[in-house]
Structure 1
Amino acid sequence: MIPFFGEAAAMTAALSWATSSMIFSNISGKAGAQSVNRGRLLCSITCLTIIHWLVEGQPWPHATTPQQLGWLTLSSVLGLVIGDAMLFQAFAILGARLSMLMMSSVPIMGTVLAWFLFDEVLSPGQIGGVALGVGGILTVIMIRKGRPANLDGRQYLIGILCGLGGAMGQVANLITAKYALIGGYSALSATWIRTLVAVVIMWGLAALTGRVRRTIISCTAADVRGWLMLGAFIGPAMGVWLSMLAVQNANVGIASTLMATPPVLLIVYEGVVLRKPVGLQAIMGTCMAFAGVAILFLL
């Protein structure tokens, strides 16, 4: 096995999610959070079918046991249906950076649950790396500068709770998917199944509530459809596949920590690329977070 393959997959997934979160946050204000969520799932299953055909030699998975199908369905419901619905609502309320900051709670939850469920005990140095990485992200969260000015206290709280709900869904997704991936089952096939389950559920609910037509109109608008397809390919397709590879080939606590770095990556993007004032506290938090990631790689 390639050294640090799982960790590299987790870090690449983080880069994918940071990029797609900016795209989805921008178009959610135009098309609506849940319309974008449903649209990107449909785009994702299209992309994943093509990728699965090229990589696995067939457009959809075969030889999936009922037990694996059950775990992947549960993973999809908890992560892609419930968790992502809340995350996309947070995108619409808070924007990409603050929404992804709420996902910083994923490593803590993931490490604790993995300790109970998989007996994945981290070394003292790895625990220090996790603590340093999470501490850096929490340092960034405490900054008041950059909070959307048009939000009142109640809206801000709802956005925070939606972001935390998305984080809980991501943890549940990682833990339940781990059971299906035991034994070397294809991470790409698992991603395809999870996405298909989410497509069926989300579009089924849209049909029951009479929102299919509105979703199609919103997602096919000239200033939305291209970005929606790009974001779906980068995030839900490639990013989720990479996250499955990370869970399959790395310790869940380490993979969760690496996949929680999009908030820091977005801070760097705003400061370096967009030239927005970031502040000393954000810089310190960023350095702490990346130091934690470096420790995880070295140990």
Structure 2
Amino acid sequence: MAAASWAVSSLFSAPPAQRLGAFAFSRWRMLFASAILWALALAGGGWRDLDAAAVGLLGLSGVVGIFIGDTALFACMNRLGPRRSGVLFATHAMFSALLAWLFLGELIQGWALVGSALLVGGVMMAVLWGKREDESHGWEQTRGRLLIGVGLGLVAALCQSVATLMLKPLMATGIDAVSASAVRMSLALAAHGLLLASGWPGARAKQPLRVRDALLTFLSAAVAMALGMTLILYAMRHGQAGLVAIFSSVTPVLLLPLLWAVYRRRPAARAWLGAALAVAGTALILARS
């Protein structure tokens, strides 16, 4: 469900992210998401379970995963487009599996390991082969240096992995996931505010925020950050951190039929082979769990 949320939100994110710039878009998105999450947290009362230690850990996770990771992801998207940035971000599944083994002692083995390899490999094949030979959409163009775009995508993936894994022990205590998301989002937004206040030109918006930009950004915040990230925290409470990351990496595969339905951009035939491998890998993991 989190992967589906991120896939849907990417349809809203690309236009305002390119128009406003990565930093301004991320800042507005976090503002909207913080408002939504705090309204839910205050209504539900889960914020009462938060203590200083939990807030500190959530804040650090928010700065790493949302402030740095999300901003790097949208900077990558602005350079390489959503398809190629998607395959780079999908590497967070491999980072997470490795880090979960090193620091949490979680080991994926046997048929679950085979299924995980099929799933991650299928995702990358689906994205890499998702472009048709006659594809000329503006999102397929490279803006700036390719190497910088690739580096930004890998930084985003690594930050996502680190930020999520550091919360596994905390989520196992039963802390309210909505309140946890609200704290993460607010402290990441505060970091963005400090960067803007520093006067760094790169933090400013490239263009003024229009009504359409605000609407698309709000939808992206509600679906990806308020819903998607909260679902990831719920998943971390109940499952292995590495497997949670692997399942959440199917976003690019779920994006294929969405792009076809919304933009009438039929993916290349070979992309469906990668998607089929991802589905088979998912089924194998679930069947052997």
TM-score (norm 1): 0.87
Deviation by residue 1:154-204 (Cα, 9 ceiling, x = unmatched):
623222221111111110111111132231111112111111110111012
- Residue number among 45, 51, 56 corresponding to 1:57 in the alignment: 45
Equivalent position SS for 2:267: coil
Q: Distance in 2 between matches of 1:102 and 1:212?
A: 23
Aligned pairs for 1:133-152 (under 5 A) are: 133-143=119-129, 145=132, 148=139, 150-151=141-142
Q: Match for residue 116 of structure 2?
A: 130
2:191 to 201, 211, 228: 201
- The one of 17, 27, 33 aligned to 2:16: 27
Write the distance in 1 (CA, Å) between the matches of 2:203 and 2:21. Answer: 13
Equivalent of residue 153 in structure 2, options 149, 163, 168: 163
Tell me the secondary structure at the aligned position of residue 91 of structure 2: helix
State yes or no: 1:254 paired with 2:243.
yes
Paired position in structure 2 for 1:187: 177
Q: How does 1:68-87 map to 2 (within 5 A)?
A: 68-87=54-73
In the alignment, which residue of structure 1 is the partner of 2:252?
263
Whether the 8 Å CA contact 2:171–2:234 is kept in 1: the answer is no
TM-aligned CA deviation for residue 296 of structure 1 = 2.0
> What is the aligned length?
283
Offset at 1:37?
Answer: 0.5
Question: Residue 77 of structure 2 aligns with which residue?
Answer: 91
Say if 2:81 and 2:142, in contact at 8 Å, map to a contact too. Answer: no
The whole-number CA distance in structure 2 between the counterparts of 1:149 and 1:236 is 25
Counterpart residue number, 2:2: 13
The percent identity for this pair of structures is: 27
Listed as ranges, the gaps of 5+ residues in structure 2 are: none
Deviation, 1:112, is 1.3
Instruction: Provide the rounded CA distance (Å) in 2 between the counterparts of 1:216 and 1:45.
Output: 23
**Aligned Cα root-mean-square deviation (Å):** 2.3
Distance 2:220 2:233 in 1: 18
| SS of alignment partner, residue 89 of structure 1 | helix
Structure 1 distance, partners of 2:231, 2:259, is: 25
Aligned-partner Cα distance in 2 for 1:126–1:188: 30
Pairwise CA distance, 1:249? 1.2
Q: Is the 2:81–2:141 contact (alpha carbons within 8 Å) kept by the matching residues of 1?
A: no
1:40: Cα distance to partner? 0.4
For residues 214-293 of structure 1, the aligned pairs below 5 Å read 215=205, 218-219=208-209, 221-293=210-282
Report if aligned partners of 2:83, 2:252 keep a CA contact under 8 Å in 1: yes
Q: Is the 8 A contact 1:14 1:262 kept in 2?
A: yes
- Partner SS state of residue 223, structure 1: helix
Provide the rounded CA distance (Å) in 2 between the counterparts of 1:229 and 1:276: 25
Normalising by structure 2, we get a TM-score of: 0.90
Q: Do the aligned residues in 1 keep the contact of 2:80 with 2:140 (CA within 8 Å)?
A: no
Distance in 2 of aligned mates of 1:94 and 1:209: 27
What letter matches 1:84 in structure 2? D
Q: Deviations over 1:201-250 (max 9, x none)?
A: 1012111216699549733x122111111111111111111111111111
